[in-house]
Chains A and B, each alone.
Chain A
Amino acid sequence: GQQVMQIPQYQHVQEGEDFTTYCNSSTTLSNIQWYKQRPGGHPVFLIQLVKSGEVKKQKRLTFQFGEAKKNSSLHITATQTTDVGTYFCAGPGSARQLTFGSGTQLTVLP
């Protein structure tokens, strides 16, 4: 079945440093979604990418969908303590449900 892998599993950064998490799928994806889960909270939808090579920005967050539509990345510029949480990518599975990656847990040190 489809697998969605994320790296790194954990990342500690100093406040102000940049952060990137990578997502790789074993199959071509029609789209990819990104979610953020704050500690003790629930996953919250951030964005969806659909087109090959698509790049979208949300303030300090930049999302990219690979040309082959099998990988994606989330880059945060100048991290802040409010960026703390776990970031998940998710792609449609064979039955049109979402398959979530294992997530990258970001810690921002003040």
Chain B
Amino acid sequence: DAGVIQSPRHEVTEMGQEVTLRCKPISGHNSLFWYRQTMMRGLELLIYFNNNVPIDDSGMPEDRFSAKMPNASFSTLKIQPSEPRDSAVYFCASSWTSGNEQFFGPGTRLTVL
């Protein structure tokens, strides 16, 4: 298995632009998680899905952030409009079920100028 796949690996954009991050979880995993990591705030859970259904989105910073999981093999995290304070590494992770060990993707390093 290729593991969790994220794209793009790096994204540089200007303030106000829309950013879409993509994730393909490990096949057969039922839970998918989006995290944001910064030096100041550490590793923060943004949202997680169970069987493609959003279960907890309390970590989503504000309405500019949205996440979807249209099927078991694909999820997106969208930021619209982006702001410089959104600059961070965004990780996607998946697991067999929530609470089990999580497998992280390589992350997307986002820079908003």
Contact = CB atoms under 8 A, between A and B. Distances in A.
A96 interface: yes
Interface stretch (A18-26, A62-70, A73-81, A98-106): A98-106
A96 B48 CA distance: 10
Contacts of A45: 101-103
Give the size category of A's interface with B: 10 to 19
B104 to A, nearest CB: 4
- Chain B interface SS verdict (over half): strand
Interface of A: 30-31, 33, 41-45, 48, 88, 92, 95-100, 102-103
Interface residues of B, number: 19
Interface of B: 33, 42-43, 45, 48, 55-56, 91, 93, 97-99, 101-107
Nearest to B44: A100
